[in-house]
Amino acid sequence: MAFDAIFEPIDIGKLTIRNRVVSTAHAEVHATDGGMTTERYVKYYEEKAKGGCGLCICGGSSVVSIDSPQGWWSSVNLSTDRIIPHFQNLSRAVHKHGGKIMIQITHMGRRSRWDGFDWSTLLSPSGIREPVHRSTCKTIEEEDIWRIIGDFAQAARRAKEGGLDGVELSAVHQHLIDQFWSPRVNKREDEWGGSFEGRMKFGMEVLKAVRAEVGDDFCVGMRICGDEFHPDGLSQDDMKQIAAYYDATGMVDFFGVVGSGCDTHNTLANVIPNMSYPPEPFLHLAAGIKEVVSVPVIHAQNIKDPNQAQRILEGGYVDLVGMTRAHIADPHLIAKIKMGQVDQIKQCVGANYCIDRQYQGLDVLCIQNAATSREYLGLPHIIEKSEGVKRKVVVVGGGPGGMEAARVAAERGHDVTLFEADEALGGQITIAAQAPQRDQIAGITRWFQLELARLNVDLRLGTRADEATLLDLRPDIVVLATGGQPFLSQFPEWGYDENPEESLVVSTWDILSGKVAPGKNVLIYDAICEFSGVSAADYLADKGAKVEIVTDDIKPGAAVGGTTFPTYYRSLYEKEVIMSSDLMLHKVYREGDGLVAVLENEYTGALEERVVDQVVVENGVRPDEALYYALKAQSRNKGQVDLEALYAIKPQPCLSEEGDGFLLFRLGDCTAPRNTHAAIYDALRICKDF
């Protein structure tokens, strides 16, 4: 049987897990109301359990103590008995569908920020600051240590009384337990540091206290690091020694292993490997831990595909696979495997929109699945067929918004035609996928292509729809998702001209799409600081160009998220791309065979020049509104979206009103330039009631 290794149940302690797939602990951010889990939280996990996930470990970095910072990520707060009834709701919802649920508990020590909410004083074994959050801390005192050990035990009790199936002690990501472990952070010379046993003591006392509190019939696991990847940190051999040491107590039911430490920006990017990483890059580290322990080992990190999961499990490298982002992209992953619908799984592409939002303190959302973590609003993962009339729906534009609109309308049972001016679907995704290490983003398009084919959507590729073509189809609904064009005409001094022969600047789209050949000596001016600029820089450098990327913002790529800009920087620095900030593009003019770009320092007004042979400008997108205004007056609803209904996830009122003619909606960048998720979310919430 295909996937038999995935579907082999496993016992963790006295708990039987129905399959080998885990949604590992991550901060949900949308989690809580004052640290208490909300309906949104419960529905988010219920959906995974309904979709067949074996084990959910919720609440990444949920706090056991009042002084562990919790506000920034809206952590779950286990420091009070008030949490117990909330846990009861959560566990009931997951157990109802045969799933199991545990929670990660921790004291973060010096990690996270102190400047907010309770303004808590951060703690660390030796008072050494943490770079990622720019956080400072006090040196922990003996009294704090024993207080926190007691807090761990009480938190575990609350999880148990709440009906959860276990707790995972976080000793990873440089939380307090592994701050004690790591000689890089623990410089103590008392009984809580120094020797191996000394550094292990805090974790051991926590484990003993927790186990004593919850007894044998409750799972207690530890999430540990496989190798901190710091010369002065814990190596794989150290971690093996540590894992074996705790395993020997017989008090640990499972280990979760994360490759890489994460107290610097660069190591943090390893922890949630984005699309630039190979599949399961740190599996060997987890397999190394499995060699020395006697209990099941869980490993996540870039395991997204059922075949990959099967191969890892079949090979016996680890006992359970974490498919956490895979479940954010598609919480029905397991059900689809079981239904023989592997091709219908919306596969995570590693865009890390989810985790990069989390690191900005925003709720975790999926770049390609707008229903995820909006289950509580009634946004569906499975679109039900409409019981109403069958409508003729015409979608214009095959980018993410248009593809989602066509998919949702077709799932509703309507007759759907999609026009796309290019020869292929994808829109801006296709352009983005041309950059080095960014090809996997095309997975978003690949899934839509398969779905639209399955749903028999009439695809008119290479066809630019005009007013007459559209009206000939006698549509009931027209959805415009025509996107936009690079906005190079904002400042005439840049020398942009519609005639490519005359234009002094080109767009990042021109470069990435291959429409314009790379220059040899290129200046990129990036006013946006998201992916396009750094992608174009990486692309050009990869083709052998000398590249300088300039921005008036604080740094090129500044708006790229925390787990993704490091992989860009690795690549850009390696290719000797020069990154300059605080400079505006003042003017471009031709001089001889070359171009001169005049840059103006934002803070001093000083001008400087660059002599180059190509100037690439990234200045965002200007909506393509022509078709909208051609159709607007003729449409029944005058192209208007009812915002109250939209935001309340209710049907657009005009759908149920009688009348002649067609309804007109526009979404995505052709309304206002935003991102992939925004376009898909617009499409889902407008089209789900067609």
Partner 1 sequence: MLDTLLPILIFTALTLAAIGAVRRIRLWRQGRPSPVNLLKGLAAVPRRYLVDLHHVVGRDKMISNTHVATAGGFVAAAVLMILVHGLGLANPVLGGLLLLASTSMFIGSLFVARRRINPPARLSKGPWMRLPKSLMAFSLGVFLITLPTVGLLPEGLLEGSGSWLLALILAGVLAWGLGEMFFGMTWGGPMKHAFAGALHLAFHRRAERFGGGRSTGLKALNLENEAAPLGVEKPADFTWNQLLGFDACVQCGRCEAVCPAFAAGQPLNPKKLIQDMVVGMAGGSDAAYAGSPYPGKPVGEHAGSPHGPIVALEGKALVDADTLWSCTTCRACVEECPMMIEHVDAIVDMRRHLTLERGKTPNKGAEVLDNLIATDNPGGFDPGSRLNWAADLELPLMADLKQVDVLLWLGDGAFDMRNQRTLRALIKVLKAAEVDFAVLGNEERDSGDVARRLGDEATFQSLAKRNIATLSQYQFLQIVTCDPHSFHVLGNEYGELGGHYKVRHHSTFIAELFEAGRLSFAPWRGGSVTYHDPCYLGRYNGEFEAPRNVLKALGIEVKEMERSGFRSRCCGGGGGAPITDIPGKQRIPDMRMNDVQETGAELVAVGCPQCTAMLEGVVDANAEVRDIAELVADALVERPAADTSGTAHRPAATTTAEEVIV
Q: Which residues bind partner 1 (CB under 8 A)?
A: 1, 3-4, 7-9, 16-19, 50-52, 96-99, 334-335, 337-340, 387
Under the phi-then-psi rule, with left for phi > 0, alpha for psi from -120 to 50, and beta for the rest, what region is 682? Answer: alpha
Of 335 and 558, CB closest to partner 1: 335
Q: How far is the CB of 16 from partner 1 (least distance, A)?
A: 5
Centre a 10 Å sphere on the Cβ of residue 471 and count the other Cβ atoms it contains: 15
Of 39 and 542, CB closest to partner 1: 39
- One-character DSSP codes across 536-555: HHHHHHHTT-EEEEE-SSSS
Residue 16 in contact with residue 296, Cβ under 8 Å? no
Q: How far is the CB of 416 from partner 1 (least distance, A)?
A: 19
Q: How far is the CB of 50 from partner 1 (least distance, A)?
A: 5
Q: How far is CA 255 from the centre of its chain?
A: 24
Count how many residues are written for the chain. 690
Q: How far is the CB of 307 from partner 1 (least distance, A)?
A: 15
CA distance 465 to 421: 7
CA distance 327 to 18: 16
CA distance 123 to 104: 19
Q: How far is the CB of 457 from partner 1 (least distance, A)?
A: 17
Of 311 and 674, CB closest to partner 1: 311
* Helical H segments across 463-507, by residue range: 467-472
CA distance 547 to 568: 14
Of 18 and 636, CB closest to partner 1: 18
Of 3 and 487, CB closest to partner 1: 3
DSSP 8-state symbol, 218: S
Q: How far is CA 274 from the centre of its chain?
A: 9
Q: How far is the CB of 78 from partner 1 (least distance, A)?
A: 26
Question: Residue with structure tokens 């904002």?
Answer: 490
CA distance 586 to 601: 9
Question: Residue with structure tokens 């008090």?
Answer: 251
Q: How far is the CB of 36 from partner 1 (least distance, A)?
A: 25
Of 21 and 25, CB closest to partner 1: 21
Q: How far is the CB of 384 from partner 1 (least distance, A)?
A: 11
CB burial readout 134-148, b (16+ within 10 A) else e: ebebeebeeebbeeb
The H or E element that residue 514 is part of is none
- Structure tokens that stand for 474 in this block: 């006698």
Q: How far is the CB of 49 from partner 1 (least distance, A)?
A: 9
- HSE of 402, CA atoms in CB hemisphere, 13 A: 32
Nearest to 309 by CA among 19, 11, 13, 97: 19
Of 299 and 332, CB closest to partner 1: 332
Residue 687 in contact with residue 412, Cβ under 8 Å? yes
Of 263 and 451, CB closest to partner 1: 451
Of 337 and 431, CB closest to partner 1: 337
Of 245 and 376, CB closest to partner 1: 376
Q: How far is the CB of 435 from partner 1 (least distance, A)?
A: 38
